Amino acid sequence: MGKKRQKLKRAFNANLIILNFKRMWPFIKPFWVRALIGVLLTIPVGGLDAVVAMFLKPFMDQVMVDKQQAFSAMIPYLIVGFTLVQGVLLYASDYLNTWVAQKITIGLKRKLYEKLLSMDTAYFDSHNSGEILFRYSTDAETASTGLINSIKQFLSRTFSSIALVFVLIYNSWQMAAIAVAVLGLFIYPMYIVRKKMKAILAKTVVNLSSIMTAYNETFAGNRTIRSFTLEEEFKRRFYKITDVTFALAMKMVKSTNWLSPLMHIIMSIGVAFVIGFGSYLIVTGRITSGNFVAFTAALIMLYKPLKSVGNYYISIQNSFIAIDRIFEILDLQPQLKDRENPATLTEIRKGITFDNVCFAYVPGREVLHNITLEIPRGTTLALVGNSGGGKTTISTLIPRLYDITGGEIKIDGVNVKDISQDSLRKQIAMVFQDNFLFTGTIRENVLLGNPNVTDAEIWAALENACLADFVKGLELGLDTEIGERGTLLSGGQKQRLAIARAFVKNAPIVILDEATSALDTKSERVVQEALDNLMKNRTVIVIAHRLSTVQNADNIIVVNDGQIVESGNHETLLAQDGAYAALYKMQFKK
Ligand SMILES: Nc1ncnc2c1ncn2[C@@H]1O[C@H](COP(=O)(O)OP(=O)(O)O)[C@@H](O)[C@H]1O
Ligand SMILES: [Mg+2]
């Protein structure tokens, strides 16, 4: 018995409905009055069906059988009045429910987006863009629109069903008993469908994410695709993904859509029995023909929505499963968090130290081994060495984009883990080899470095970044749109814009990661001049593979395979005739 009840509960998702509702409540709460009115409006809308059925008995018995004049004269007014009331209620309930559904969707999307912004770098390393789009945006819509619709449908159906069942019982309790028993037969198939759906939907999410990633990569990588003539290859990949989409869609239909026809068949059997039994009751004079007509109408009204309940059920499940996925995301916690009451970094007095720092992106695969180094305030540290040796990794650890697995990184003697991430990163300006510029104007992109600077300061930064002449030559000047990711600028211009962005940030620590390596010698000289300006009087970490750019550094460290193999300034390292000298000679020869 207990097991049976469990099944019954699961089929109707009683627990799930309550759980989902509890979790959704914070998103519904601000609008609960409207939501409640919207929901309450569905009661009369649902109940009105029963009124029609109920009305059929007096109509049958008094007009058709007894031929009463007064009653028949009222009928047109009743119909019109009734329709008006129903129409107004329907409109009001649709309006309110859409309003509430939209508010909830937007609330969910905002919360999800905040969550996305709070996730750490490692999270983005291990997820693709399609998955992000799907799980942070599409799911929100599926969840809330689906939920509101399902609540609306569910409640209006429930109220209408309850009212109709009363009509049934009023007209003939014996027939009502048969009809309700038939309804009970639906429970098991509903339970099966839910189980099957969940498995297929999990695969569908992965598939739809791949499709979104494909679009993203086609957009972002279009030049590579074109120049390597990868059209056929990408077409083939896309066909393969969409073949899976098709297979999954068909599998879904195959394993769920038998529900509606099955319900239809079960209901037909129910109707057949009830009508047979009802005819017997009329013939034997136990009910009036009015009873019979009203009963049959109520029964058909009750079964008609139930016939489509199979499909509703599927879409309701869909939104419930989307809600599950959303809360999976909202429950995520970034691995990297501020500790309680973190210190605030407002200036650099002594400098940065690495003490036996070990680091692995993937547990067990260490990429930095016992790195110890010191960067006194106002000095420049250069990192050189083989590609893949760990230079970029070292530089990302200073703004704490990742947490180290061993040792300590300190600024002015305070562990970076004890400093609030916000205040730490405000003290650091980074320029990368591949800088990300955002859709918008030149001014907007510079302002991202610091929103509080004046136009005069922006021009000064552009001047320092050796980009002012170029911007002055543009018709729209600072208001020139640079395209998504800055595609309308050249590589050197993009880099100099990123340098200007770093300038206005005016941070005491500057990190330059191969900021000039993508440039030809002539533009490199211009950008180098900009960088020299940026480095003045600051604590700098510079990574460069052209040694000419690091010769003046106060300290040079050679990093190979995650280890420091040499350190010193240019002269001492050359005199040592080790790794640095070898690198230098190799480049010098060229
Ligand atoms: N996000 C990442 N996830 C996992 N491994 C990474 C990641 N970034 C870099 N690595 C690995 O870490 C090592 C050091 O890389 P990196 O610091 O970029 O070297 P460098 O800047 O000296 O060329 C390489 O073996 C690289 O494959
Ligand atoms: Mg690198």
Residue 425 to residue 467: CA distance in whole angstroms: 25
Q: Would you say the CB of residue 192 lies under 6 angstroms from ligand 1?
A: no
Going from the Cα of 197 to the center of ligand 1, the distance in angstroms, rounded, reads: 40
The stretch 416-430 carries a mean pLDDT of 93
Going from the Cα of 351 to the center of ligand 2, the distance in angstroms, rounded, reads: 23
Q: Would you say the CB of residue 388 lies under 6 angstroms from ligand 1?
A: yes
Nearest to 405 by CA among 344, 342, 335: 335
> How far is residue 480 from each of residues 45, 472, 473, 489, 532, measured CA to CA in Å?
56, 11, 11, 11, 27
Residue whose CA lies nearest to ligand 1 atom number 24: 388
CA angle 423, 429, 435 (to 5 degrees): 130
Q: Would you say the CB of residue 433 lies under 6 angstroms from ligand 1?
A: no
Going from the Cα of 3 to the center of ligand 1, the distance in angstroms, rounded, reads: 54
The β-bridge partners of 542 are: 382, 512
Residue 175 to residue 164: CA distance in whole angstroms: 13
Number of helices followed by number of strands (H, E) in the chain: 22, 10
Residue whose CA lies nearest to ligand 1 atom number 1: 125
Q: Is the confidence at residue 13, as pLDDT, over 60?
A: no
What is the chain's mean pLDDT, rounded? 84
Going from the Cα of 561 to the center of ligand 1, the distance in angstroms, rounded, reads: 10
pLDDT given at position 29: 87
Map tokens 């680091």 to a residue. 359
Residue whose CA lies nearest to ligand 1 atom number 3: 361
Going from the Cα of 388 to the center of ligand 1, the distance in angstroms, rounded, reads: 6
Q: Is the confidence at residue 75, as pLDDT, over 80?
A: no
Q: Would you say the CB of residue 384 lies under 6 angstroms from ligand 1?
A: no
CATH 1.20.1560.10 residue ranges of the chain are: 2-330
Q: Report the relative pairing of strands 428-431 and 539-543 from DSSP bridges.
A: unpaired
Nearest to 109 by CA among 83, 135, 77, 73: 135
To test ligand 1's pocket by mutation, which of 393, 402, 517 has the most ligand atoms within 8 angstroms of CB? 393
Going from the Cα of 372 to the center of ligand 1, the distance in angstroms, rounded, reads: 19
Map tokens 């017997």 to a residue. 280
Residue whose CA lies nearest to ligand 1 atom number 7: 361
Half-sphere exposure of 267 (CA within 13 A, CB side): 20
Amino acid, single-letter form, for residue 256: T
Q: Is the confidence at residue 400, as pLDDT, over 90?
A: yes
DSSP per-residue string spanning 59-115: IIIIIIIT--HHHHHHHHHHHHHHHHHHHHHHHHHHHHHHHHHHHHHHHHHHHHHHH
- Superfamily the domain 351-589 falls into: P-loop containing nucleotide triphosphate hydrolases (3.40.50.300)
- Residue 390 banded pLDDT, cuts 50, 70, 90: very high
Architecture per CATH, domain 2-330, reads as: Up-down Bundle (1.20)
- Residue 1 banded pLDDT, cuts 50, 70, 90: very low
Q: Which atom of ligand 1 is nearest to the CA of 386?
A: 22
First to last CA, the chain: 85
Residue 186 to residue 443: CA distance in whole angstroms: 63
Residue whose CA lies nearest to ligand 1 atom number 4: 361
Going from the Cα of 512 to the center of ligand 1, the distance in angstroms, rounded, reads: 16
Q: Would you say the CB of residue 508 lies under 6 angstroms from ligand 1?
A: no
Residue whose CA lies nearest to ligand 1 atom number 27: 388
Other CB atoms within a 10 A radius of the CB of residue 363 amount to 7
Higher pLDDT, 68 or 383: 383
CATH 3.40.50.300 residue ranges of the chain are: 351-589
Highest-confidence segment of 75-84, 373-382, 482-491: 373-382
Q: Which atom of ligand 1 is nearest to the CA of 383?
A: 22
Going from the Cα of 355 to the center of ligand 1, the distance in angstroms, rounded, reads: 20
Both tokens of 92, joined, read 């009001």
Q: Which atom of ligand 1 is nearest to the CA of 559?
A: 22
What percentage of the chain has pLDDT greater than the value 70? 93
- Residue 243 banded pLDDT, cuts 50, 70, 90: very high
